[in-house]
Amino acid sequence: MINASIVGLGWWGKKLANAVQGGSLLRIVRGIEPSAEAVRGYADQCGFPISPDYSAALDDPRVEAVILATPHMLHDEQIVRAGAAGKHVFCEKPLSLTRAGAERSVRVLREKGLVLGIGHERRWEPPVAQMLDDARSGRLGILLQLEANFSHDKFVSLAADNWRLSEANAPAGGMTATGIHLFDLATTLFGEGETAFASSGTLASAIQNGDSTCALVRYRNGGTAYVAAMLATPFISRVALFGSEGWVEVRDKAHVEAPEGWYLTRCAKSGRPEVTEMPVAAPVLANLEAFARAVAGDRVYPISTADMIANTAVMEAIFKSARSGKAQPVPA
């Protein structure tokens, strides 16, 4: 059992805490949440003490790792402080809003011999894992393009001052909420990004950071990824990967908060798509437990820090492009 503290007990922080309670490798021994309103009622039944100050987790000798589900602008400082306190870190995406910030976090934890995990649970979804295996095994031939749409209208009902709708914390609309997951997949397949072009605007809501966003990224190896991330349309999640020898598409049957499994479609050169239905899984828990195993020294955490940095750089270029309306180089 790895003892951890959940930092940030809003909507997603509670989801992470609940996921951990369904596993056997992590135990939450402290929560951190500055807003008493956010944990009203929850504090009485969660099973662990909740403190308002991050220092309470860093100073607690029982806490071996912190799980950050906090506003994105806080990640850089919080990770550095955790490293100084000797705590392993699982950080919700994005790791940072800049490549420089991600590189600093990786360096600080590496120098201390600490594990860094990140909330890219889509890699643990069975059909996505199959897609990645098809790509890495060569069954798809030369990889050409990833095309995806991960959109929903859940944020339309949020208060206007919610940090998830802030240009500072969540630039380029839904990219930090959903699009980043798909670019994580593209990054692990194609490597370092080269150029990004993004378009983001508010068309059908009051969401100030954009409710209609898409981005096209060219990678240094010549591959491309196109991702749409809208915040004012009913839920859709699909990702397709195209290669010279075939393609694979993954579609969620229902919203990720009430999952019903997936459709996995694979098509080889014969041109006859084959559809497989895949049952519900628990990718959030699987990711957290992979982190716990790495902290325990049993296995290496499967998402490399090189991928974390490279994907952060892609997102930084997307943010800049969405603001400028022009293509931007991916920071190297």
Fold of 122-286+311-329: Dihydrodipicolinate Reductase; domain 2 (3.30.360)
Q: Decide: 32 and 61 in contact? Cβ < 8 Å.
A: no
279 has a pLDDT exceeding 90? yes
The model's pTM is: 0.97
- Same fold for the pair 2-119 and 122-286+311-329: no
Q: For 113-119, what is the mean pLDDT? A: 98
Q: pLDDT tens across 39-85, in order?
A: 999 999 999 999 999 999 999 999 999 999 999 999 999 999 999 99
Number of helices and strands in the chain (H, E): 8, 15
Q: For 157-186, what is the mean pLDDT? A: 96
- The residue ranges of DSSP E strands in 184-223, in sequence order, are 193-201, 212-219
User: Residue 219 and residue 239: Cα distance in Å, rounded?
Assistant: 18
3-class state of residue 228 by DSSP: strand
Least confident window among 73-77, 129-133, 157-161, 227-231: 157-161
| Beta-sheet pairing, 262-268 with 212-219 | unpaired
pLDDT at position 155 = 95
3-class state of residue 240 by DSSP: strand
Q: Which residue bears the tokens 């859709």?
A: 236
- Report the candidate in 129, 128, 166, 171 with the shortest Cα–Cα distance to residue 148: 128
User: Residue 102 and residue 99: Cα distance in Å, rounded?
Assistant: 5
CATH number among 3.30.365.10, 1.10.3720.10, 3.40.50.2020, 3.40.50.720, domain 2-119: 3.40.50.720
Q: How confident is the model at residue 161 (pLDDT cuts 50, 70, 90)?
A: very high
Q: How confident is the model at residue 19 (pLDDT cuts 50, 70, 90)?
A: very high
24 has a pLDDT exceeding 90? no
Q: Can you give the C-alpha Rg of the chain in angstroms? A: 19
Q: Which residue bears the tokens 């990054």?
A: 187
Q: How confident is the model at residue 21 (pLDDT cuts 50, 70, 90)?
A: confident
Q: How confident is the model at residue 23 (pLDDT cuts 50, 70, 90)?
A: confident
Widest distance between CA atoms in the chain: 60
The domain segmentation of the chain, as residue ranges, is 2-119, 122-286+311-329
pLDDT at position 328 = 98
Count Cβ atoms below 10 Å from residue 43 Cβ, excluding itself: 16
Backbone angles phi, psi at 317, to 5 degrees: -65, -40
